[in-house]
């Protein structure tokens, strides 16, 4: 009976943190949160161990935040944790990997005693500095760095922090609004947790957390048995910043867990495509869990089985003050890198490589005539190429994997700034050929609204190094970036889009799986009818 009650409460906790995440979606100001779902939410025990995470969110946020709460406890100090407090940081190494993500943690007290924490993370539209892009050469240039500190103390807001943020970011109303949304999200979790504890007549989460960790550890070790003990390796080339980057992993598996070492990967870059190890760890853990236990709830115990290491100076182990603003561009490839390492052991599970990194862009829209009275605007949009084909199914078209964020709609993007999306369509022939076809990328054509010019920050990959097919499948098409008059545009860095010109993005496709000669004729016929292939 006790076991059944614990299972019911476990499911209830997951629903609570999902409501916590959706509260953030409903109240957020930035389109990256409310439209794309670039966030995470979770509940933690008094030691900072994640008990449950929301389904809504990204692995890069959830799995890094799983390690972040311990940092909050250590930096604030147990003797300074009070009822009514809320803590905040965007420290890339103690949070989720770059300055644009703010993590907020709220302690939960019940009858005067600390019983746990709620935490959430969201990507904000601007943190000052050079803006969201890879051009900086040190983290100091990338924006406002907020160390772990109190956002509220005993219910009183830190007005000095708000004032500093307000005067250091370009879109202060959006950013400060999102900080309040993060705090409100946690408060939603706190209220729902107290209601659950009242219902089950409990004073804390201690016994429930131990039950969850024990059952998860048992299940994780059982799933690890699918992967024979041994050493698995893989290498991958990605674009980097004007110079191809080599990523390498060696995974050692035993009955207790799997350790990934990234030795052999390229050294850190002088620009912001470097990755703090906590972020590489997040996407490695995600790779192992989706391959071995895709339906199992993730928490401290499931993540503890997957450890990482990398030499200092490695692009996947950036250290302060290395620039890390677009750590996702390199970090998103860690999942395909690690899946490729274990592909031979799990041939019926592992897909071909996909587009991987999101094709995010950040626009600083400025009036062509400074005296026109038109306001400056900051615009952020997420877009996705195709995923790799799966052993039994085609790849997904224009779908974000591994991040899982949604592509922002044209309408939502046009609403927040002076931008026109003239065209947004699937890109024919971009998916790699195979028994199963790779997912298609998309074509996006955009331009400034009348009276504006763009300073456009690119953070695109798979332009020089396409997604590779698997088991005889063809590569996906690489991406392209250019102006409508044919002028080439760099795939990374801030550049100008003049008034009257349009920018065209052709997003990469995913790799194919298996011999193309074995493709079912009915599937090929449908591909032609749908315009997927020519």
- With respect to residue 478, please indicate whether it lies within any of the assigned structural domains: yes
Contact 511, 473 (CB under 8 A): yes
- The torsion angles phi and psi of 295, rounded to 5 degrees, stand at -95, 0
Separation CA 500–CA 491 (nearest Å): 21
Contact 365, 417 (CB under 8 A): yes
- With respect to residue 58, please indicate whether it lies within any of the assigned structural domains: yes
Segment 335-352, tens digit of pLDDT = 999 999 999 999 999 999
pLDDT of residue 56: 87
Segment 470-489, tens digit of pLDDT = 999 999 999 999 999 999 99
Contact 103, 68 (CB under 8 A): yes
User: Residue 464 is part of which domain span?
Assistant: 351-534
Distance of CA 362 to the CA centre of its chain: 16
521: which 2 tokens? 């004729």
- With respect to residue 413, please indicate whether it lies within any of the assigned structural domains: yes
pLDDT of residue 1: 56
SS3 365: strand
Please indicate, yes or no, whether residues 53 and 200 belong to a single structural domain of this protein. yes
Contact 474, 467 (CB under 8 A): no
- With respect to residue 240, please indicate whether it lies within any of the assigned structural domains: no
- With respect to residue 144, please indicate whether it lies within any of the assigned structural domains: yes
Please indicate, yes or no, whether residues 209 and 355 belong to a single structural domain of this protein. no
Write down which residue in 217, 239, 255 finishes a domain. Answer: 217
In the chain, which residues have pLDDT < 70?
1
- With respect to residue 342, please indicate whether it lies within any of the assigned structural domains: no
Write down which residue in 148, 183, 217 finishes a domain. Answer: 217
Separation CA 508–CA 446 (nearest Å): 17
CB within 8 A of 379, min separation 6: which ones? Answer: 362, 363, 365, 413, 416, 417, 419
- With respect to residue 432, please indicate whether it lies within any of the assigned structural domains: yes
Provide the 8-state DSSP code for 349: T
CB within 8 A of 49, min separation 6: which ones? Answer: 69, 70, 209, 213, 299, 300
For the whole model, what pTM was predicted?
A: 0.96
Separation CA 372–CA 477 (nearest Å): 43
* Number of domains into which the chain is organized: 2
Write down which residue in 202, 217, 232 finishes a domain. Answer: 217
144: which 2 tokens? 């406002």
Segment 4-54, tens digit of pLDDT = 889 999 999 999 999 999 999 999 998 889 888 899 999 999 999 999 999
Contact 448, 454 (CB under 8 A): yes
- In sequence order, the β-bridge partners of residue 376 are none
- With respect to residue 258, please indicate whether it lies within any of the assigned structural domains: no
């Amino acid at each position: 009976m006790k076991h059944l009650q614990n299972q019911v409460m476990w499911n209830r906790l997951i629903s609570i943190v999902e409501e916590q995440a959706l509260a953030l979606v409903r109240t957020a100001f930035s389109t990256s949160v409310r439209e794309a779902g670039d966030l995470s939410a979770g509940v933690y025990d008094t030691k900072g161990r994640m008990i449950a995470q929301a389904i809504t969110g990204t692995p890069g946020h959830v799995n890094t935040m799983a390690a972040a709460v311990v940092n909050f406890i250590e930096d604030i100090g147990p003797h300074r944790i009070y009822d009514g407090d809320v803590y905040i940081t965007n420290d890339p190494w103690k949070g989720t990997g770059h300055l644009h993500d703010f993590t907020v943690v709220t302690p939960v007290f019940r009858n005067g005693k600390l019983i746990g924490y709620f935490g959430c993370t969201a990507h904000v539209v601007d943190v000052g500095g050079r803006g969201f892009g890879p051009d900086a050469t040190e983290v100091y240039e990338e924006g406002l760095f907020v160390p772990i500190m109190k956002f509220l103390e005993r219910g009183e807001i830190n007005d000095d922090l708000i004032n500093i943020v307000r005067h250091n970011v370009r879109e202060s109303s959006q950013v400060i609004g999102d900080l309040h949304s993060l705090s409100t999200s946690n408060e939603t979790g706190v209220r729902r947790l107290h209601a659950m504890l009242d219902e089950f007549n409990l004073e804390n989460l201690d016994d429930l957390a131990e039950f969850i960790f024990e059952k998860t550890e048992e299940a994780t070790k059982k799933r690890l048995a699918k992967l024979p003990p041994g050493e698995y390796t893989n290498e991958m080339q990605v674009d980097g910043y004007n110079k191809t980057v080599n990523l390498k992993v060696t995974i050692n598996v035993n009955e207790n867990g799997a350790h990934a070492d990234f030795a052999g990967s390229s050294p850190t870059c002088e620009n912001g495509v470097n990755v703090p190890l906590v972020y590489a760890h997040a996407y490695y853990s995600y790779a192992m869990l989706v391959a071995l236990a895709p339906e199992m709830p993730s928490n401290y115990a499931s993540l503890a089985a997957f450890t990482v290491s990398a030499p200092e100076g490695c692009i996947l182990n950036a250290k302060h003050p290395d620039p890390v603003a677009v750590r996702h561009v390199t970090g998103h490839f860690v999942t395909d890198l690690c899946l490729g390492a274990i592909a031979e052991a799990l041939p019926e599970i592992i897909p071909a490589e996909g587009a991987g990194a999101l094709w995010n862009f950040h626009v600083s829209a400025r009036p062509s005539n400074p005296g026109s009275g038109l306001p400056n605007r900051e615009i952020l949009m997420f877009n996705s190429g195709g995923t790799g084909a799966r052993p039994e199914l085609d790849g997904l078209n224009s779908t974000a994997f591994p991040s899982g964020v949604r592509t922002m709609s044209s309408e939502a993007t046009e609403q927040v700034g002076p931008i026109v999306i003239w065209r947004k369509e699937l890109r024919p022939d971009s998916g790699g050929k195979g028994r199963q076809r790779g997912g298609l990328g998309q074509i996006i054509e955009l331009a400034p609204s009348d009276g504006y010019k763009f300073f456009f920050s690119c953070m695109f990959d798979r332009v020089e190094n396409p997604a590779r097919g698997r088991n005889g499948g063809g590569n996906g098409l690489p991406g392209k970036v250019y102006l409508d008059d044919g002028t080439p545009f760099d795939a990374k860095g801030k550049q100008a889009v003049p008034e009257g010109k349009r920018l065209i993005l052709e997003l990469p496709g995913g790799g194919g799986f298996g011999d193309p000669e074995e493709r079912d004729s009915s599937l090929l016929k449908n591909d032609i009818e749908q315009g997927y292939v020519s």
